[in-house]
Amino acid sequence: MKRLILVRHGKSSWDNNLPDHKRPLKKRAYNDAEVVLNTFQNFYQPGALFWSSYAVRAHETAKLFKERLNIADVDFIVKEDLYTFNQNELLTEIKSCDDSRDKLIVFGHNPAMTILVNSLGDKKMDNLPTTGLCVIDFQVDSWKDIRQGKTILTLLPKNLR
């Protein structure tokens, strides 16, 4: 079995006229991460590989999860190719995960995240909001074979407040 956890980056700021990939998190993002992590830490089982887009807003969100869940540096990887808004590019990257890892957590961007949640999982949503998290299980042995999975958990900050 393979478990994919998709996390959209936290709410970012548009205040500083920065390039898109350098936009920082807003204060709200830290509060949203806190409420999601308060629930997710009870569900999370160690052993996941963490992949994050290099964009500041995604990387900072991923680091909040890394710290709270005590993820080792060796299991935390920033990948330039995850800075994509295209679901096919994101899925190609996910399918490249080493099959020795059964759990993968990916921090990335919309619309790719929402489209993948809807195309890979069995529960549809209009939008995976910022700091939204979705867990999808696949009854396969290889990441290359993930297609239709079962959505087993969705955590949205607004539903946890």
Binned at pLDDT 50, 70 and 90, residue 17 comes out as confident
Q: Would you state the pLDDT for residue 15?
A: 84
Q: Would you state the pLDDT for residue 14?
A: 87
Q: By C-alpha distance, which of 110, 79, 70 is closest to 97?
A: 79
Query: What mean pLDDT is predicted for residues 65-87?
Result: 97
* CA–CA gap between residue 65 and residue 6 (Å, rounded): 12
> Residues 6 or more apart from 7 whose CB is under 8 A from it?
61, 62, 65, 105, 106, 107, 108, 113, 131, 132, 133
Domain extent, residue 83, equals 2-101+112-136
107, part of any domain: no
Binned at pLDDT 50, 70 and 90, residue 147 comes out as very high
50, part of any domain: yes
To the nearest whole percent, how much of the chain has pLDDT over 90? 97
The dihedral region occupied by 12, where left means phi > 0, alpha psi between -120 and 50, and beta the remainder, is beta
146, part of any domain: no
Q: Would you state the pLDDT for residue 36?
A: 98
The domain total for the chain is 1
| CATH assignment of the domain containing 53 | 3.40.50.1240
Query: What mean pLDDT is predicted for residues 17-39?
Result: 96
143, part of any domain: no
147, part of any domain: no
Q: Would you state the pLDDT for residue 130?
A: 98
* CA–CA gap between residue 37 and residue 51 (Å, rounded): 17
Q: Would you state the pLDDT for residue 16?
A: 80
150, part of any domain: no
pLDDT digits (tens, 9 = 90+) for 104-145: 999 999 999 999 999 999 999 999 999 999 999 999 999 999
